[in-house]
Amino acid sequence: IKAKKASIMNNNTPTSLLKLNQVHRANIEKKLAHRLESARAKGNQDLIKVLETERQLLQWQTHTLN
């Protein structure tokens, strides 16, 4: 177990952290898209507005940080 833990800890290279961040952001975007789809299907305009704002902020963060 210690060897595996050390292997994981040593994998904190800039490349692996970048990949982790990309996967994390992709998961957030996928979940947000699903939430938007559900809100639209239910006609929940208030939730749609909130989720669209969240999506815009996420896009702004992605553009600003890259």
Q: Token digits for 12?
A: 């904190």
Residue 65 pLDDT exceeds 60? yes
Angle of helix 14-42 relative to helix 45-65, nearest 10 degrees, comes to: 160
Q: pLDDT of 3-59, one tens digit each? A: 555 555 566 788 999 999 999 999 999 999 999 999 999 999 999 999 999 999 999
Residue 2 pLDDT exceeds 70? no
For the CA atoms of 8, 12, 13, 18, what is the dihedral angle to 10 degrees? Answer: 110
Report whether 46 contacts 16 (CB < 8 A): no
Q: Token digits for 28?
A: 């957030």
